[in-house]
Chains A and B, each alone.
Chain A
Amino acid sequence: MIKLTNISKEFKEGIQAKKIKAIDDLVLEVQKGEVFGFLGPNGAGKSTTIKILVNLIRPDKGKALIMDRDVNDTAVRKHVGYLPENPYFYDYLTAEELLWFGGKTTGLSATAIKNRADELFQKVNLENARKRQLRTYSKGMLQRAGLALSLIHDPDVAILDEPMSGLDPLGRKMVGDVILELKARGKTIFFSSHILTDVERFCDRVGIIVAGRLRLVDRLDNLLVGNTKLEDVFLREVEKAGGGIEI
């Protein structure tokens, strides 16, 4: 469903345009119906990888495919729902208009948008705030609105960058429930998170990226044998890579 082949990406930084390797030869495949947790310390390359998947950034080398189509292909995004980290939307639009925009751009009819929006606003608990302008929303409410937007067109692939960020425990539970429901419906979910307990709850497989290199990809049940926690595995991989520990 998602296939990254030998992806490399460098950024230029500063006046001297010093090259910084953000991703180095990343190879990764996520199967249909799988929940994949993408972990790594800050600045490891998680968001860069995700932005390559939604074509916000182009790789220097390698290929990124979703549903066997190059992510460059605009049409592929009809099947993809993306929640950016710390989403920011138009201040003067209401959440309802935001979802209308999301639905219209993916070709939904007005009725389909309304029905789906009703369902999603209930799910993310924004029913009472749907007609309010987004500038009046708190960080957590924006996160919820972003999640609803990413799912308005019932995508086959959900790419969620730190979906729990800025949410209270109730919000985190809500996101968890949404992920589990998507999983039950056979959707593919690729998400990054720093909250390892959540990753343990939802994921089939995890990948750990440190300093742009994918250090480990494995099934959770293979990793969490005995009393081993995901945190132990994560810290071990980061230390092995000599990347320091910054969770």
Chain B
Amino acid sequence: MNTLWPVALITFKEGIRNRALYGITLLALLFFIANFLISGMFMQEVGKVAIDIALSAVSLSGLLLVLFVGINLMAKDLDKKTIYMVLSRPISRSQYILGKFLGMALLIITTMVFLSVCAALSIQLIKMVYPNYFPRFSWPMILLALSFNTLSMILLSALAFFFASFTSTSFITLVLTVIVYIIGQSLSDVKALVDAPQTVGIHVSAATVKLVQLAYYLFPNLSVFNLKIQAAHSLFLPASYILWTVTYGLIYTALAITGAAIIFRLREFP
């Protein structure tokens, strides 16, 4: 802990002061203001639209945070050789990875809490103006959707760390992270399609089924963290789903960071 905390703290400070973060936050705030205007244009389902836009704005900001601030926090250490300064201290490579990741997780949580409060404010304002359009409304579901989104961003940043542990430039890390994000978001739908192709009248070869099944177990299923629809419609969610998803997110994150630490221990910095 003696060395983890300093690494985590400088990572957090470096991230929170990054100007890109201000840009991302500003974009989200603009979305929240736009939410007020856009929702008002729908004279039906105002509540659902408002919740959907607010949660999407937080999701998008979280994704931009991981891709454009988070990746740089580690990859820049390698690109710019800042890592020389860190690893020449009495810090092991595993401690470096863990400390960096803790700093990044802290940055994601801080930013997400701030944006979630803004999102909640924007929903509350719209609810006050159009009270009749929120017949089934649940703050706990919105809070859960925001928390799950935060967890998915922490998982994605763990994967970015994993890629950064063996790639040579931040660009490759960025590309790999984006690919995994896209696969992770669409994996459930693709699997559902290959599991029951007759429902849409297509034929899927056995090899494709195997490939999709392999991808399903290899890549993170990020869609399980997406609770926008459930929040917008205030749908019931069983406690087992919540527990399973949190456990899944934490285990996947732990595996990605452990993998990053193992690879990083073998790496050299010429």
A residues neighboring B (CB under 8 Å)? 11, 48, 51, 54-58, 74-78, 80, 82, 84, 87-93, 97, 100-102, 104-107, 133, 146, 149
Say whether, besides A93-B14, A97-B10, A107-B2, A58 and B82 are in contact (CB < 8 Å).
no
A11 with B84: CB separation less than 8 A: no
- A-B contact number at CB 8 A: 84
Nearest residue, chain A, Cβ from B269 = A56
| Residue among A11, A76, A133, A146 making CB contact with B270, cutoff 8 Å | A11
Most A CB within 10 A of own CB, among B3, B89, B92:
B89
Q: Enumerate chain B residues within 8 angstroms of A101, measured Cβ to Cβ.
A: 6-7, 9-10, 89
Contact B85 A146 (CB under 8 A): yes
In angstroms, Cα B157 to Cα A115, docked, is 37
Q: A48, A76, A92 — which one has the most chain B CB atoms within 10 A of its CB?
A: A92
- A56-B92 in contact (CB<8A): no
Nearest-Cβ distance from residue A194 to partner chain B, whole angstroms: 19
Contact A51 to B6, CB < 8 A, known contacts A80-B88, A88-B80, A105-B90: no
**Partner of A84 from B5, B9, B84, B89 at Cβ < 8 Å:** B84
Q: Does B18 contact A (CB under 8 A)?
A: yes
Check A84–B14 contact: CB distance below 8 A: no
Contact across chains for A57 and B89 when beta carbons are under 8 A apart: no
Determine which of B9, B81, B88 lies in contact with A88 in the assembled complex, contact meaning CB atoms within 8 Å.
B81
Known contacts A56-B268, A74-B92, A78-B90; decide if A93 and B81 are in contact (CB<8 Å). no
Can you name the residue of chain B whose Cβ is closest to the Cβ of A80? Answer: B88
Q: Which of B18, B82, B88 contacts A77 (CB 8 A)?
A: B88
Chain A residues closer than 8 Å to B270, beta-carbon distance: 11, 48, 51, 56-57
CB nearest to A92 among chain B residues: B17
**Which residues of chain A are near B60, meaning CB under 8 Å?**
none
Q: Which residues does chain B contribute within 8 Å of A93, judged by CB atoms?
A: 10, 13-14
User: Is B5 a contact partner of A104 (Cβ separation < 8 A)?
Assistant: yes
When the two chains form their complex, are residues A90 and B89 in contact, meaning their CB atoms are under 8 A apart?
Answer: no
Contacts of A89 in B (CB 8 A): 82, 85
Question: A48-B270, A88-B81, A89-B82 given as contacts; is B87 within 8 A of A54 (CB)?
Answer: yes
Q: How far is the CB of B77 from chain A (nearest CB, A)?
A: 9
Q: Which of A87, A90, A91, A106 has the most CB of B within 10 A?
A: A90
B91 near A: Cβ within 8 Å?
yes
Q: In the complex, A106→B85 CA distance in Å?
A: 13
